[in-house]
C-alpha cells in the first residue's frame, strides 16, 4: 500500500480509538489554544486535543495535497509520558501512535 494511504489509515485508527474512549470532542478549543509555541501545545491543549485538532488535520492536509510527509516523525514517546496509566484508552492509543511512528521510521522518503 502506498505510504500516504497507510498514514491515512493509521490516522483513522487513531481517531477511532479517541472516539471509542469518548476522547473525541465536538467543539474545537479556542483559537488562542493553537497559538502556543510549546511542542504539542502542551501549555494550552490536552494531549488528546492536540491529536484531534492539530496532528490529524495537518497530516490529512499533507496527504490531500500530495505533499511530502515529515521525516523522523515520532509522537508516541511524548504520549507515553503525557498519559498516565489510568488514562482512558491509553494502551490502544499508544499502540496506534507507535504504529504510526513506525511508518516514518521504516521509510525516510
The predicted-structure confidence for 43-80, as pLDDT tens digits, reads as follows: 999 999 999 999 999 999 999 999 999 988 899 999 99
Write the DSSP symbol of residue 54: I
b/e burial code for range 36-69 (CB count within 10 A of at least 16 → b): eeeebbeebbbbbbbbbbbbbeebeeebeeeeee
Write the DSSP symbol of residue 87: S
pLDDT surpassing 70 at residue 1: no
Q: Could you give the 3-state DSSP secondary structure of residue 15? A: helix
When comparing pLDDT for 73 and 16, which is higher? 16
C-alpha grid cell for residue 73?
516523525
Average pLDDT estimate for 15-31: 96
When comparing pLDDT for 9 and 71, which is higher? 9
The CATH homologous superfamily of the domain defined by 3-25+39-106:
YqcC-like (1.20.1440.40)
- Please tell me the predicted confidence (pLDDT) of residue 68: 92
Euclidean distance between CA atoms 106 and 31, whole angstroms: 35
Amino acid at each position: 500500500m502506498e505510504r500516504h494511504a497507510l498514514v491515512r489509515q493509521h490516522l483513522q485508527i487513531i481517531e477511532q480509538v479517541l472516539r471509542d474512549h469518548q476522547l473525541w470532542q465536538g467543539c474545537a478549543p479556542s483559537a488562542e489554544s493553537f497559538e502556543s509555541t510549546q511542542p504539542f501545545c502542551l501549555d494550552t491543549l490536552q494531549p488528546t486535543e492536540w491529536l484531534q485538532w492539530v496532528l490529524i488535520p495537518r497530516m490529512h492536509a499533507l496527504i490531500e495535497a500530495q505533499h511530502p510527509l515529515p521525516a523522523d516523525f515520532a509522537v508516541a514517546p511524548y504520549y507515553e509520558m503525557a498519559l498516565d496509566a489510568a488514562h482512558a484508552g491509553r494502551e490502544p492509543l499508544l499502540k496506534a501512535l507507535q504504529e504510526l511512528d513506525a511508518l516514518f521510521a521504516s521509510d525516510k522518503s
